[in-house]
Structure 1
Amino acid sequence: MPSFKTVLKNLGPGILFASMAIGTSHLVLSTKAGAQYGWLMIIPIILANVLKYPFFEFGVRYTNVTNKTLIEGYLNRGKGYLWFYAIITFVTTFTILAALYTVTAGLFINLFNIGHSAITIVALSLFLIISALLIFGKYKFLEISLKFVISILFIALLVTTVLVIVKGPVDHALDFEPLPIFNEVGILFLIGLIGWMPTTVEASSWISLWSIEKWKNQEKPSLKESLQEFNIGYIITAILAVFFMVIGWYTLYGTNTQLSNNAISFADQVVRLFTEHIGTWAYLFIAISAFATMFSTCMTAHDALARVSLDIISLLKPKEKWYSTKNAYTTGILILTFINFVVIAAFSANMGNLVALATFVSFVVAPLVGYMNLKNVTSCDLDPKFWPNKQLKFLTYVGILFLSLFALYYFYIIIL
């Protein structure tokens, strides 16, 4: 077993994954799950984390064994695979990143009472700050800072969860009636929760790219060590999801509180309700934790989408050499900043529709991306001794079937 020092040295891609995953899927969806449906929501949260695990694990496995990104593996399977993934990334790049910055800016305005500020101005400030941090700090700064953020966030949520449990669940309203789960509204909520828990499947390539970047500055760990590092991040992600769910359950479930369907308003509502049940002394503590959650998600998503975009373009246009220059990453970060700020400024009123489009694409293609990842790690690119074992393959097929059924049902509801 690797020593603690070795484990600490290898921490990086898994921690970045945890930071990226705990944005709206945890702060908003996990909390809302507990608030609306109570303790039963621990079942779909755990189920989603277990069934999606192989798809993300394959990103680490493939890259460690082949020294290639998962996206290069798609090209090896056929150019159609790469184009398919490129289209998914294109939709995500110009919708989800803008939505993340919008939610983070709105949350900042609400939490720190600067209502006179326009959301576009705050979003622009966030874009500039995060772009500067990524351009000048690059991967090393991202990794070091997020190790700190995740540690603080984990402690903050652990303390908050313990305080909430010690205080006990709130009293139910006299006229409280549990919401049905298996009606159209409940099923749609489950689809959203499971689809974004811990995050969308196409983000599996992000871990692959972070691994390649980390190994530029240190000796590549063994496959066992890489998987151990990723598992630490993945387990942290799952535990934090449960923490948020428990907090929502203990502070809101049964109170008949009207929960906002707007992510910004709901996040602010959650922070203020937490404060009511824990104490006003905790407001700043909780508010900073909530903002740090979204800020770290923006930073990791911005970095990852720049790397993914550059990787895709370099594979589709191999004769173009500028994609591998030192300035390529900077250019990618700045282009994403410009385009997504324009999206926010021009389409902020219709941001919900843009996110709905990205959600639709992500959910419908999730089982296909999962299958593509399985094809990569069971291909001739890897020696068969490094292929996933029978148990992991079985879990993969169960996950593909599960996501396919949800995708078909979601497609049916949205289209028909």
Structure 2
Amino acid sequence: MDAIDRTAAVGGSRVDAVRGRILSFTRRPEGPGDHAGLLHIQDGAVRIVDGRIAAVGEASTILPTLPPGAVIDHHPDAIVTAGFIDTHIHFPQTQVIASYGTQLLDWLERYTFVEEQRFADAGHAARTARFFLDELLRNGTTTAVVYGSVHPGSADALFAEAERRGAGMIAGKVMMDRHAPDALRDRADTAYADSKALIERWHGRGRQRYAVTPRFAITSTEAQLEAAGALLREHPGVHMQTHLSENPDEIATVRRLFPDDASYTAVYDRFGLLGPRSLFGHCIHLDEAEMRLLSESGSVASLCPTSNLFMGSGLFDLERLEDPARPVRTALATDVGGGTSYSMLRTAAEAYKVIQLRGRNLPALRALHWLTLGNAEALGLADEIGSLAPGRYADLVVLDARATPAMAHRMETIGDRLEDELFVLLTLGDDRAVAATYLQGTRAHSRGG
């Protein structure tokens, strides 16, 4: 075979195969040492045809099947796995991140609502979309569930930039008709009409999907929450995203605004917003009845550890949520800009600490599964993304556990112990540990390139 074997491909170049240490999951690991659902090939290759994975296996088996002149990116000392998936992030908050000194409701008024008004400017939205996608890809994230601003153009800008790059986004314009500045309020009818138009324009167009996006119960009237439920009923393939039970003052405010509902979760349930495509960010202070509602509806609770710690919101109780008697589906997310890092590796490190404070451990295999197949399953997209399997999109991330001097120093004591290496990546890793990111077999990010 006359192939081109490259160790540093030019960004934006399509490749026919990626070679390295292959790592992927077929199911969730139940604990340390559970390798039954793990694909691990020391010298493996992913063959890519028309942007999708055609085959995965030993390099000695895959490479001879490539056509003459095939382009191979070779990462001999790195781990090649599925691209990371972020299940809760705010595109208009890229310049809100690292805002000092407040908790949720004051933080929204002092910082976020001020910044989001800028997204009425289409040029600003387009520039921010480019930065946002650059930052995701630099951190190995190839799919994200994204909040826009109240302006429909914010969603248009994000979808257009994602489409240009070949990324798959799930996103929506925020619905918000009260308790916000006038410049950020829509109405129940305009939110419905704008969201419906965006669904018709973007949902199912290539890799793009829409999420109906009421910000949270505080900023939506009953009429607007009813409109959100109507959108879900009329468009059964779309997702829904909102916030739930993040902060005690938020919960108290919801209780005042909806005195006839038994709980914060019950408000959303009344308007038909729970379901297997519904993603609820935070879910920290839930009572037993609320967890049962989420469990019975198949809804997803997204852990946002860096945000919860940064704003002092509380500690996600994974053990209670995953009670076998009424398990709630869970996912992991950065929640930028309340969250403090775009890196899903940094996010996993903080999740480990939150779970430790609750008296449990987060094994490295479980964490990496969460960033890939686990989050894909939470989105109902495991047949498209989240694993290295034939038919999936060739969205890949290449991880270097020796990316920094501290990591390389630690790795000297680890040798070939895979789980220890993954724990180094998940504890010390960040964007520097991402050697390359691929979208549909095209290198979309190259460290230092």
State TM-score, norm by structure 1: 0.23
Higher strand share: 2
Q: Judging by fraction of residues, say which structure has more helix.
A: 1
TM-score if structure 2 supplies the norm length? 0.22
